[in-house]
Amino acid sequence: MSIVIIGGNDRMVYQYKDLCKEYHCRAKVFTQMQGAMKKKIGAPDLIVLFTGTVSHKMVNCATFEAKRLNLPLARSHTSSLNALRNILEEHCASCKNCDHCAMRTT
């Protein structure tokens, strides 16, 4: 499963990626607006939006891409590891594509 994280803290990028690895997910993290962010988002399985640490322009770009590609968009005001963990647990509980996932109980 691939995840795009938009927002968050610059110093926690590697912690976000490490947590996603625990859930067998590949993660791209955008903490600041980049020129061609639409092209770099790609087609992930989930977009995580940390709304407390992100600009309105990035929020608009993420929501537009999520609607355009029909992707799930998870929002959290805080950009903590616990907030990301809760989002991953919630999404992994409803995910049916991850046969190799450690979170899957069946």
103 pLDDT tier (thresholds 50, 70, 90): very low
User: Of the candidates 14, 62, 69, which has an alpha carbon nearest to the alpha carbon of residue 34?
Assistant: 62
**Is 105's pLDDT higher than 50?**
no
Single pTM value for the model: 0.84
Tell me which DSSP letter residue 12 carries: G
What domains are defined for the chain? 2-94 (3.40.50.10330)
Q: Retrieve residue 25's tokens.
A: 């997910």
Secondary structure element (H or E) that encloses residue 88, with its range:
helix 81-94
User: Of the candidates 106, 105, 85, which has an alpha carbon nearest to the alpha carbon of residue 3?
Assistant: 85
92 or 102, higher pLDDT: 92
| Residues linked to residue 4 through DSSP beta bridges, in sequence order | 28, 47
User: Of the candidates 30, 42, 51, which has an alpha carbon nearest to the alpha carbon of residue 1?
Assistant: 42
pLDDT tens, residue by residue, 49-84 = 998 888 898 888 889 989 998 999 999 999 999 999
Report pLDDT for 49: 93
pLDDT tens, residue by residue, 8-47 = 898 999 999 999 999 888 999 998 887 777 778 888 899 9
End-to-end Cα distance, the chain: 18
Average pLDDT taken over every residue of the chain: 85
Strand, helix or coil at 83? helix
